[in-house]
Structures are given as structure tokens and as C-alpha cells.
Chain A
Amino acid sequence: MTDISAQPTAGPLRRRVDTTSPEAQAAVRRRYRSEARFRTYGLLAILTAAVFLVVLLIDIGARALPAFTTTSLQLNVAVPSDLVPADQKNNPAAIRGADFLPVMREALKTAIPGVQGRGPERTLLRLLSPGAPDDLRERLAANPSLIGTTLKVPLLLSATADLYFKGAGTPINTRSSRGAATPSGTTGTITVSAPGNDFSENLVTVKLAVAERAQALAAEAERTARSSAPNAAERANELRAEAAAMAARAKDTAAAETLDSRLPSLLVEINGGLVKVSQLAADRIEGDVLLPLASTNEAKASDWRIVTYVTPESSRKIGDQEVAFLERFKANGQVEKGFNWRFFTSGDSREPELAGIRGAIVGTALTLLVTLVLCVPVGVAAAIYLEEFAPKNRFTDIIEVNINNLAAVPSIVFGLLGLAMFLNFFGLPRSAPLVGGLVLALLVLPTIIIASRAALKAVPPSIKEAALGVGASHQQAIFHHVLPLAMPGIMTGTIIGMAHALGETAPLLMIGMVAFIVDVPTSVTDAATVLPVQIFLWSDLPELAFKAKTAGAIVVLLVFLFVMNGTAIWLRKRFERRW
């Protein structure tokens, strides 16, 4: 007090904010710029999160698309009357157990006549999935009178063939010919001579590719020479020699070239057949017949074509022979795409095209059922006790702190608990939805307790007082009035908790829900897997087709989650009560 009053009241202390000078205005502008910058940072942060989410969803959606369609061949299948012994004709089990492999083979051979040799035949058969006869089998079992007739049925393609039609194949260029050409045979290795030098452009392309390869080799030779590897010089010399030989080959534009699988495949479509070129000269080629020719007649100009599979054979999953077969089926209009119902109706499988998520969905349902049955009553009861009846003392304090901490314990630790307690100590079955549900129940219990307490707290005390006022006991007031009013909030919390449980993976890995299980589980003690774990399992598999399946399963999981969270939001909006 005395200090301040001792100060002179006028003079240097009376400073005013300068608002007019240019410096001051510049300072204000600077401050506003920094304001705008700060604001932009905030907006950018949210946009980053949003962009990430959108990219994530689009990426997974795009990856998932192939999983939802399936490709099959619509073929006429002649079912031999001796498929099953005569006395077993009306026994569905016998029909299902019959050997359909020869039937398939015949159907394929009818579709592409003239395929000979074990190799091509096996390749043809491999285009079909092991589950290809399933449709036929069911139809015959349902209607045995069809045995001995010819049916048109869809035969499921293998994953590789399926992927070929979904874009994992190769671009195909077709070029008409200028002159006539004559094949030397209809099957095996043949030559096709085209006196009009039809192949000269192709030869140039190949020579250019060879020249490029020569340069690459030379560059590698120089790199090797510089490296400190023990026999670098030796190896470099070898490479140099190879490069030189190749360069010479490229220079000699007239000489014939041998094609290999690192170059785009060149094929000649002639007389209804297809020849894969192995030796290429300007006026003639030599190659293997992929699809048999009808005759050795001379084909006139523009009656035959030169076909290029642009992606080299070595950099795709599917060989030229398969591509040739599949293109032929496609040309015949026998390839059909459809919605992949099997993805939703069958269990897991080693074959990507047969694998489905039904087992995982049922497993998830059973697991969540156990979770729901356990954690909702217990969680709500605990919340009621803590919110309404618990005396305020150290003990209830401990329970409270404990629940908050439990909510933040890493989920994998709950898995350890499940493994050590439920499996090892209590001897419950491994991989069972029962144990999974138990673990998840403990995991989401804190969430449900916290949400239920908040919902109970939101009910105004006047309601309870009103009930007490007419002589209801404390419990009657809670159970008749407070709890029903808190119910929407509790249900919202429960759904959010269940959505959390639905997406949980790590603790379930610990208790062995990772086994490969084909059968759809029927009880809570059967071995089962759940959707997120199925996703994890599939994502680990090397087959390309399983990547799509993984993404497909993710899409299904996300749909479930969105529906659950949407319901929770709807509930909250619908029953939200402001007191």
C-alpha cells in the first residue's frame, strides 16, 4: 500500500497503447497473420485425420472388391449314368461322395476340343477350383433323375483364374496380318511361315529389348567391377562378355531370335488355333501349339492374327497356356461373374476361392453373446452399487480407481489373464467362444460400468426423491424409476462396449482362437475363430487372392461396427432427455 502511494501519480507511468503509427499497425498485422496461421494448423490437423480415414476406407474398399464377386465357367456337363452304382441312385450321400473329377475333365475337353497330352490337360483341369463340382453335386443330390443327362452348370474357377479376370492378368494386343501364312501342323511344335514378312516389326521390338538388356548387363558389370566382393573382377568379366554377345545379337537385325519368359509373349492365332512363338524370324516363326489348329491350310491375309500378351510370363502368376484357355472360354461366352455368396455361407478354407467368413461370423456371434450375457448384468449391477448404494469409504474408492485403471490396461494383458487363469488354471477348452467371451467380458466391463454410472448419474435425484416420498424403498426407487430412465444411456454404453469387443483381436490370439477351423461352430465350447482374428490369419497368408478376402472380411467387420455405432448414436439422439 505504502509503496504504491509513494509513487508519483503522473508522468512516465501513463503510457498508452499506440494504435496509429505504422510500426504498431505492422505489429497488429503480424499478430493477425500468426492468428490465421495458428487457425490453419488446427484445420490441417483435422483434415489430416479425415484424409487418412478416407484413404484407409477407400484403399480397403478397393482391395475388397474382388472378394465379393466370383468367376465360374458355364459349361455343359454330361453326367455319366454310371456316376454312382445303380442301386445307390437315390442316395444323396453316395451322389455327394462320387468322383466328379472325370466328369469335370470331360466337360472341359468338350469345351475346348483337341487338347491333348497330360500337361495341357492337367493345366486345363487346374483352372477349376477343387470346389467346382459343388453346385453340380448339390443339384444331382437334390434331383437324382438328372444323372445320365447333360446339364449346364457353373463350375467355379480357381483363385488364379478368378484373379485373371479381375485384372491380375495381362493386357493383350492383337494385330492383323498383311500377308498369308501357312502352319506346318495342328498340334505339338509347328512352324508358321508368312512370306510377307509379317513378323518383322515383332523382331525389331525383340531386338530392341535385347539391346536394352545388353546395356543393363554392361552397367551391372561395371558395378560389380567397382564392388569389393572377393571375385568381383572375375564376375565382371563374365558379365562383360555376356553383354557383348547380347549386343552383337541385337545388332544382327536379320537373325532369328529365341523368345524367353522375360519378354512379352508372342502368339499367332491361325486356323482356329493358337501358337506360342518360341523362335522368331521376320518371315516365319516356330512355336508350341496352345490351342489346336483346325487344319494346315494356308490362312489368307487378315484371316490370322498376331497376338501379344504384354506382361512377360515371368512377371505374372498365370502362364500363357492358362491365359490361352481362359481367353478361349471368354470368347465362347462361357465365363460368368456373379456375387460371391460362398464368401458368406462357407467356413474357412485353404483355397482362397472357397474360403468364407461364415465360421468367423458365427464364432463372433457366439463370443459376443457370452460377453453380453456376462458383462451387462455384472456391469450394470456394479454401476448401480457404486453409484447408488456404496458408502463413501476407502474400499469403494479402491474399487473406483481400480475400474478406471482396468479400462486402460492393454488388451493383450487380458489375453494373458485368460491364458493363465481360464485355460491353465480352470482348464476351460482352448479356442472356445466361451473363453473368448469371458476374456472380452472382463475387457469391456470397465467401459460398461463407467457408461452405466454416467447414465445413472444423469437421472435427476428428484425422481428418486419422489419415489422415496411415496414410501418406496431405496431399491424400489432405483429399480422402478432410476434404472429404467438410465436404460437408454446404459444401452448406448453397452453397444459401444460390444463394438469395442467386436474389434478386439490380441487377447483372443492368446487363448488360441487362431487355429485353422473349417467347421462352423455350433456351441460356445466348440473351437472357433472370430472375424478380426480371421482377418489377421488371412492377412498372413501369401496367396494374393487371400489379400482380397482379408479386405472383404474387413469390410464386413467395418459394416458391423458402423451399424452398431450408428445404433448407439441413434439411441442417444432418440432417447436423450434433458432434465
Chain B
Amino acid sequence: MTAVYFITLACLVIAGYFIAAQRAKSLRAAPGAAFHSLPTYHGMLAAVSLFVPMVLVFAIGTPIVKHLATSSVFSFFPPEVANDPLQRGVVLRDVGNILDGRHQGEPSATLRSAATSFAHVLSTGRLIVLGAGVALGIASLLLVLSRISATFRARNLFERFVIAALVLCALVAILTTIGIVFSVVWETYRFFFDPTLKGRPTVTDFLFGTEWNPQAALRADQGDIKTAYGFIPLLTGTLLITFIAILVAGPLGLFSAIYLSEYATPRFRAWAKPILEILAGIPTVVLGFFAALTVAPLIRGWGESFGLDIASESALAAGLVMGMMIIPFISSLSDDVINAVPQSLRDGAYALGATKSETIKKVVLPAALPGIVSAFMLAISRAIGETMIVVMAAGLAANLTLNPLDAVTTITVQIKTILVGDQEFDSAKTLAAFALGFVLFFVTLVLNIIAQQIVRRYREQYD
């Protein structure tokens, strides 16, 4: 049915375009005043004037028809059924099965008549929607056609529509943010404050609890499993791995950037830059595989030869590989800010007899410091939000430890663990993942905003 609607739509739009363009052309051929708009624009305007109302009618009409059809089903059942979400779902599934001819066994008479009524309402409704759409579309087409004349500004009207479409597209970015905020905030709110939710923690429990064990008690006889939503072990785990990663990537990335921007010959740059870009482009799932299968056993082996007991999913392995992932990130951002330091500052230092490294250490880096700080902040936010490396190379056990040789878990690992597989939206465990997502979003957002503010101010300083 949807296909029919849109094929009709497409045909009408094309027809509308040609009718209007043709009409404009024939009017234009007549001697007289100069035409304001080209026939093409009259055609486009006609097409748009058909398209917009028809799409709107479909977008509004379809859910209404669906709703009407559903309520027609429940007119055959007592109100208890209609009000119980569980039974409601069962009835609707049965109706769907009957209509598809997949129903197991002989359906009851009520069910059958409900199904018939559902199908009836649905098909009538869809026909009405189609009719309304076509009628409205043609009406607006006729309106446009009647106005075609030498002075009619079809181009300006069409361009106004184009601007509206462009604005809508730009709004998608805003809508995405709103969508993210809405989904995490709403579910987080439910996690903490929904009275129907069993086992929800208080905000304090969550923020300061030192035990994380999000077992959803599935049945009453499983009451022994103690659920706890203490966020602290996840935070320390995340920070530990991030710290190791920055410890690796910070010096390496910064020194790479310094070398590339201050010392490297163009030839060397031509080689080194792509290497860093390739490193940046390696999917994190690949790095995770490498961390889990190669780096972690290697570290474990070294540890054993020194008599150290290292967990096979140590924070160290995940942190090291994550650090490698972040090197190109820090180096390219730092490269940019170092290059933005005006040459005149360097020249001033050289003129006083400073060596290159002295110039870099005493003049360039202090001047570029805000930019470098923001690069590190963006890198930290990247490390905190990184998922696959830690999912594959770090553990699940929420140990409260700062020992990099132990297994720790992170916020992202827990979100992934909770949400992969079947989940229901009314268990505290599922909602806990959204609360973690909220924390993640909030923390990275703050880091990014601060970093961007610093960069912006830094740019203004040298522009």
C-alpha cells in the first residue's frame, strides 16, 4: 500500500512538473511581457506543491488509520483486554497472524471478526488517505497552474522551498542531539525515580557505591543474588585505562607532532603522515583483537618471567593499545596548533641565538599550550568513550583497584554487556546502561566543550 501511494506520488509529481512547465512555455511563446521565471521553475514549483501536501497527508494519515484499525479490533473485546498491555499485544499478534494466514489452529469467532474488521478499517483508511493525498496534491497543483503568468515568481517561491529543505537538513544535527539527550536522560530518570521499578538505586548509591553487580533478579527464588549499582569501580577502571592510554599517547603523540612540524623534511612528512593516518583509520575492533590475542599474552608472558602475576585481561594491555590508537589523534591536533604558532615568534628566538629545541621548548610549546591542552582533553574524551578495545581486551569484573596489572572494567564495557542480548525496557539492569550512557555523554560533552572553547580562544589570539 505504501508502495502504491508513493508510485502514485511519483507519477503525479512528474506529470505536474511537465504540465506546469509546458503551460509556462506556451504562455511564454506568446508575444508580450518578459517572463519572470524559466518554465523549469514553474515545473519544479508545481512538483513541489504536489509533493509536500501528499507526503504530509501520508505522514499524518498512516498512524491515524493504524490507530483506528487497532481500536476497531478492541471493540470486539472487553475493556480489560484493551487495557492490559500484555493481552493487547497477544491479540494484535494473533490478528496479524490470521491476516497473514499463519495462525496456529482455529481462531475464535471474536478473533476472526476482529481480524476482518481490522483489515477492513485498514484498507478503507488507506484508500481514504490515498484519496485525500491525491485530492490535496492536485488542488495545490491547480492553484499553482492557475497562477502561472509572466509576472509569477515561480523561481523565488521554489527557492524558498529549497531553503526550507536545507534548514530542515541542518536541523537534523540538532534533532540528533535532542534525541540522544532525550533517550539517555529519560531512561536515566526512570532508573533513579520510576516508582514501579524494582531494585533501583538512589542517586547517592549510584555515584558513591563501590560495588557494581547489575544482576537482574529474574525470578523470586533468585533473591540471593545481591544487585548493586555502585559506579565507583567502573569510574576507576575507566580512568585507569584512560590514564595508561594517555601516558603512552601523550608523549609519543606530542613528540611526533613536534618532529613532524619542526624537524621533518617534506619527504619524511610525506611518509610519516600517512602512517599515522593509517593508524588512525584502523577500526577499533581490529585493535581490540590485537590487544586481546597478541599484546595481553605478551605482557602476561613478560610478567611471568619477572615473577609477576598479571591478569590475562589486564588494564595494561587495553591501555597500551588504546594509547596507540590515540597517538595519531594527539599528533594531528598538536601538529595543527604548533603550525598555527606564528613564524615571527620562532624567528625572535632564533635571532637571540636559541637552538631549535630551545625555541620549541621555550617559545613554541608555551605559545601552543592551550591548543595542546585541548588536544589532550579531546584525546581523553576519546579514550573514555572507546568501546571495542576495552570490550575485547579488558575484563568484566568490576574490581576497585588502581593496579594496572589487574583486570578492571569500564563504563563502555558495562553498557555493552548489559545491552547486548535480550533486554526489557522495564528492568533496572537495562536502565542502568542508560544511566552509564548519560554519564559518558555528559563527561565527554563537558570535555569537548571546554576543549573547543580553548581552541577557539587560541585561534582568535593568532588570527
Q: Could you list which residues of chain A lie within 8 angstroms of chain B, going by C-beta atoms?
A: 17, 31-32, 34-35, 38-39, 41-46, 48-50, 52-53, 56, 59-60, 63, 377-379, 381-382, 384-386, 389-390, 398-399, 401-406, 408-417, 419-421, 424, 442, 445-446, 449, 473-475, 499, 502-506, 509-510, 512, 514, 532-533, 535-536, 539, 547, 550-551, 554, 557-558, 561-562, 565, 569
Interface of B is mostly: helix
Return B160 CB to nearest CB of chain A, in Å.
10
Within 8 Å by CB of A404, from B166, B382, B448, lies: B448
Which B residue's beta carbon lies closest to that of A496? B281
Interface pair A417/B183, CB less than 8 Å apart: yes
Which of chain A's residues have a CB closer than 8 A to the CB of B156? 473
* With A385-B166, A445-B172 as contacts: A53 and B278 at CB distance below 8 Å: yes
Contacts of B353 in A (CB 8 A): 17
Residues of B within 8 A of A558 (CB): 282, 286
Q: How far is the CA of A166 from the CA of B328 in the complex (A)?
A: 36
B167 contact from A385, A409, A536, Cβ within 8 A: A385
Contact between B452 and A404, CB atoms less than 8 A apart: yes
> Among A60, A63, A399, A406, which residue has its beta carbon within 8 angstroms of that of B170?
A399
Do A449 and B173 touch (CB < 8 A)? yes
State A506–B387 Cα separation when bound (angstroms).
6
Q: How far is the CB of A19 from chain B (nearest CB, A)?
A: 10
* Cross-chain contact B416 with A506 (CB below 8 angstroms): yes
A60 and B440 in contact (CB under 8 A), knowing A34-B357, A45-B259? no
**Do residues B283 and A503 form an inter-chain contact, with CB atoms below 8 A?**
yes
Q: Is the CB of B385 within 8 A of A385?
A: no
Chain B residues close to A by CB (< 8 Å)? 155-156, 159, 162-163, 165-167, 169-174, 176-177, 179-180, 182-184, 186-187, 251-256, 258-260, 262-263, 272, 274-279, 281-290, 292-294, 324, 327-328, 331, 353, 355-358, 360-361, 378, 381-382, 384-388, 391-392, 412, 415-416, 419-421, 425, 433-434, 437, 440-441, 444-445, 448-449, 452
Q: Given A17-B353, A535-B285, verify A44-B255 contact (CB < 8 Å).
A: yes
A401–B293 CA distance with the chains assembled, in angstroms: 40
Shortest C-beta distance, B393 to chain A (Å), equals 10
Contacts A46-B272, A509-B416 given; indicate if A420 touches B441 (C-beta within 8 A): no
> Could you name 24 residue pairs across A and B whose Cβ atoms are closer than 8 Å?
A31-B358, A35-B355, A38-B357, A45-B259, A49-B327, A49-B331, A50-B272, A52-B324, A389-B166, A402-B177, A404-B448, A406-B173, A412-B387, A412-B416, A414-B180, A416-B184, A424-B425, A445-B172, A473-B155, A475-B163, A504-B283, A510-B415, A539-B392, A551-B289
The smallest beta-carbon distance between B154 and chain A, in angstroms, is 12
Query: Contact: B251 with A45, CB < 8 Å?
Result: yes
Query: Which residue of chain B is the closest to A48 with respect to CB atoms?
Result: B252
Contacts of A42 in B (CB 8 A): 255-256, 258-260, 262-263
State whether A43 touches B420 (Cβ < 8 A). Answer: no
What residues of chain A lie closer than 8 Å to B412, measured between beta carbons?
Answer: 410, 412, 506
Please provide the 9 A-B residue pairs with the shortest distance between their CB atoms, ordered closest to farther.
A410-B385, A42-B259, A503-B283, A420-B183, A45-B255, A381-B169, A506-B387, A38-B357, A385-B166
CA distance A378 to B173 in the complex (A): 9
Residues of chain B within 8 A (CB-CB) of A421 are 179, 182-183
Q: Give min CB distance, B326 to chain A, whole Å.
A: 11
Which chain A residues lie closer than 8 Å to B167 at the CB level? 385
Task: Out of A52, A378, A405, A550, name the residue touching B169 (CB < 8 Å).
Answer: A378
Out of A31, A386, A416, name the residue touching B437 (CB < 8 Å): A416
- A505 in contact with B388 (CB, 8 Å): yes
**Complex CA–CA separation, A425 to B315 (angstroms):** 37
Asked if residues A409 and B169 are in contact (CB atoms below 8 Å), the reply is no
CB-based contact A63/B387 at 8 Å: no
In whole Å, how far is A511's beta carbon from the nearest beta carbon of chain B? 9
Q: Of the candidates A402, A408, A414, A550, which one forms a contact with B378 in the assembled complex, judged by CB atoms under 8 Å apart?
A: A408
The answer on a CB contact under 8 Å between A532 and B173 is no
